[in-house]
Amino acid sequence: MVVDSMDLLDRAASLAPIIFFILLTIAGITFALYLLYTSSGSMYGYSLAMLFLALAAVSGFFNIFASYSYYRSSLYDDYIENLERKTDELKELPTVAVAVPVYNEDPEIVKKNLLRLKEMDYPSSRIRFYLLDDSTNAGDASELRQFSKRNGYTYIHRRLRTGFKAGALNNMLKHSNEEFIAIFDYDEHLKDKGFLMDLLKYFNDPSVSYIQTEKRYSKGTFFSDTVDLFDAFFFKFIQPSRALNNTAIFAGSCGIIRRSALDAIGGFPEYIVEDTFFSLESDLHRYKSLYIPKVYALGKPIKTFTELVKQQWRYNYGDTQFLGYFMKKAGLLSRKKPLSVMSNIDYITHGFGLNYISTFLIFFTIVSVLIVFSSVPLAKITLQQIAQTRSLTTTMEILGFSTFALSLIAPVVLTKIHFKSIRKGFMVFILNFALAFIRAKAALSAVMNVSPSIPWHTGSGSGMNRKIGAAFRNSISEVVFSSSLFVLGIFAFTIHDLSGGLWLLWYSFLYISTFYFFYKYG
């Protein structure tokens, strides 16, 4: 009976996030219908309700998709176990190129991790190591060149960083002829020496073009460990679900690629998120891909908010570019044989994902302001009236307001169940608001084809004024937006709209967090 009870508890815990996602969808659409019901024929009220309904519909799609991914991810362990049982060991070990792209990184970290990679369990006659150095610092380049010479690495240096990381990898293809390419980032420290021996056997299937493993960061501070959850959510839930549709994303490192497949595709597409573009091209060329949910190497933890900002800027810039690329290559504009419906949904949600949790947060906030100062009778009822009233409008209003509570609860519950931390769940929720404007600006820059590089003030040094100044310059948009919400919230209080005032002050707190994170974490 104890075992049965525990099993029931585990099942209930696994179903909880799905229930939250579904309730969140219902609540959002219900609130939109409430706005429509109370618009009283007003064109302004009707337009506001329709706008919120459109936002709620898109949000509902992503919530349902998240629920679907979460459910599918729970099936993946069995899938991998069955696949492993059917996969034979390699009869002959192929040749492998291990490539480490570098661009102006700390030489000591690079050297430490390169030496560790050489300890992999694989015959030295069948493996060759490549250091792809795009560094502009002559001293660092010289140091890495000498290190490579002493330790048997093939050192390749480019003066111009054309094509970013993809350009460095494509340049390496001119100097190598190994059958497979294993890629690691400069900061990834190998933890499991069986990386090649474990994974290469899956390439017995000649249609498999690449294998991706789970990527995580080393343990660090509370902040860096929370940032690690950003990737953990993707690799724990989204990647397994996508892998069942043959759309698992090659994540740029901690993976292996078949050289012949890469040649057939034409090398890496030269964009700042070359891995996503390559994954799509692999699918379009009818190759298979595989995701192995096991951590073989740990990256250096992201210790500052500026590091996170740079990462998220690059991701959203690249993913926005990817949307256009996808429409041209595989969407309505393409003449190629179409992908499956689920494959199309996977790629569209991937390209649009960060835009959804950034641009749509901003849109929702602006619409919230319009709702508070509209004629909609928002929550201007007492708790006693709520308890006694059984009208349709009151029920719809209560359900609608639960949208905002559930949007906070969902990540907290997920984080508690899978990562044993409520605090990190709250942090993940707030970080999405702190990054909203940054991601939105990155998307706009991609649409306008502006350079993907942008400077950020670090506020280095011990002076408080310097740190405050740097934080303010980095978050000027968020400070102005948050201040405006604060003023509007106070104004709502003066016209006796308690719920509206609290609503706007809550949003004000969430957006000012960008300034706080820049100041607190640098």
Tell me the pLDDT tens digit for each residue of 158-176.
Answer: 988 888 899 999 999 999 9
Lowest mean pLDDT among 42-51, 176-185, 259-268: 42-51
Cα separation, 250 vs 247, whole angstroms = 9
Q: How many other C-beta atoms lie within 10 A of the C-beta of residue 108?
A: 9
So what's the pLDDT on residue 169? 96
231 and 369 co-located in one domain: no
pLDDT of amino acid 183:
97
Q: Considering the domain boundaries, does residue 235 fall inside one?
A: yes
Percent pLDDT > 70 in the chain is: 85
Residue 486 pLDDT grade (very low, low, confident, very high; cuts 50, 70, 90): very high
CA 169 to chain centre: 23
Of 303, 322, 340, the residue at which a domain comes to its end is 303
Whether 402 is covered by a domain: the verdict is yes
Domain boundary among 263, 280, 303: 303
Amino acid at 328: K
Least-confidence region, from 217-221, 235-239, 424-428: 424-428
Give the residue carrying structure tokens 């706009």: 444
Q: What value does the mean pLDDT take over residues 214-232?
A: 91
Predicted local distance difference test score (pLDDT) of residue 514: 96
Within a domain: residue 51? yes
Task: Please name the residues in contact with 45: beta carbons below 8 A apart, sequence gap of 6 or more.
Answer: 35, 38, 39, 374, 375, 376
Q: Return the pLDDT at 408.
A: 57
Q: What pLDDT was estimated at residue 276?
A: 93
Evaluate if residue 394 carries a pLDDT over 80: no
- Kindly state the average pLDDT of the residues 80-106: 92
Answer with the one of 276, 303, 330 that is the final residue of a domain. Answer: 303
Does one domain contain both 156 and 203? yes
Least confident among 49-53, 124-128, 204-208, 268-272: 49-53
**HEC profile of 268-291:** CCCCCCHHHHHHHHHHHCCCEEEE
pLDDT for the residue 3:
43
- Residue 426 shares a structural domain with residue 511: yes
In a shared domain, residues 393 and 296 = no
Residues 61 and 193 grouped into a single domain: no
Bridge partners of residue 157, in order along the sequence: 133
**Token digits of residue 325:** 């690329």
For position 378, what pLDDT does the model report?
A: 45
- Which one is predicted more confidently, 403 or 125? 125
E strands, 286-428, are 288-299
CB 326 within 8 A of CB 247: no
Asked if 105 and 203 sit in the same domain, the reply is yes
Q: How many residues does the chain have?
A: 522
Q: Which helix (H) or strand (E) holds 443?
A: helix 436-447
The helix (H) or strand (E) run that includes residue 164 is helix 164-173
> Is residue 68 very low, low, confident or very high in pLDDT (cuts 50, 70, 90)?
confident
Q: Which residues pair with 182 in a beta bridge?
A: 98, 256
| 3-state secondary structure (DSSP) of residue 429 | helix
Which tokens go with 374?
């509209």
Q: Indicate whether 99 and 70 sit together in one domain.
A: no
Provide the 3-class DSSP secondary structure of residue 158.
Answer: coil
Same domain, 152 and 218: yes
- Does residue 433 have a pLDDT over 80? yes
- Report the pLDDT averaged over residues 119-129: 95
CA pseudo-torsion sign 138, 139, 140, 141: positive
Mean pLDDT over 66-95 rounds to 87
Based on the fold, state whether residues 421 and 487 are members of the same structural domain.
yes
Summary mean pLDDT of the chain: 84
Could you tell me if 68 and 92 lie in one domain? no
Same domain membership, residue 431 and residue 291: no
CA atoms of 514 and 30, how far apart (whole Å): 31
* CA 281/CA 352 separation, integer angstroms: 18
- Give the 3-state secondary structure of residue 136: coil
Number of independent structural domains in the chain: 2
Does residue 58 surpass a pLDDT of 70?
A: yes
Query: 72 Cβ partners below 8 Å, 6+ apart?
Result: 240, 241, 244
Identify which of 16-30, 399-413, 415-429 has the greatest average pLDDT. 415-429
The pLDDT tens digits for 374-393 are 755 444 444 444 444 444 44
Distance of CA 216 to the CA centre of its chain: 13
Higher pLDDT, 363 or 8: 363
Whole-number Å distance between alpha carbons of 75 and 70 = 9
What is the average pLDDT across 336-359? 83
Residue 208 has pLDDT above 50, yes or no: yes
Structural domain for 189, as ranges: 88-303
pLDDT at 463 over 80: no
Residues 113, 62 share a domain: no
Q: Does 420 fall in a domain?
A: yes
DSSP state of 132: E
pLDDT confidence bin for 451, thresholds 50/70/90: confident
Q: Give burial (CB, 10 Å; 0-12/13-18/19+) of 2.
A: exposed
Q: With bands split at pLDDT 50, 70 and 90, how would you rate the model's confidence at 42?
A: confident
